[in-house]
Amino acid sequence: MTTEELDIIFDEAVERINAHTEPFPADFLLRLYAYYKKATNNYERPSSKKPIINAFKTNALFQIKNITPDQAKEAYIELVNNYFLYRK
């Protein structure tokens, strides 16, 4: 898969998540958050008003620190596809 194809599929997965109106499980959201931040090279600190949420987000980012942005895009896409495939 080319970089351009990966970017297109990643953008479609992001749109799919943004269009979804039902709540997501918290652990799923944290993984999405971490993969998205890594995939987009967004290194801003978490900015929740609740310190515990920032701690969870920071931990999620720490867990994926050794993957590349393209690997993060692939993981994000797989996470989204599996969620919609297996949700009840």
pLDDT digits (tens, 9 = 90+) for 11-22: 999 999 999 999
Domains of the chain in start order, with CATH, are 3-86 (1.20.80.10)
Mean pLDDT confidence for 4-15? 97
- Residue 57 backbone class (left: φ over 0; alpha: ψ -120 to 50; beta: rest): alpha
23 three-state secondary structure = coil
Cα separation, 54 vs 34, whole angstroms: 12
The whole-model pTM stands at: 0.91
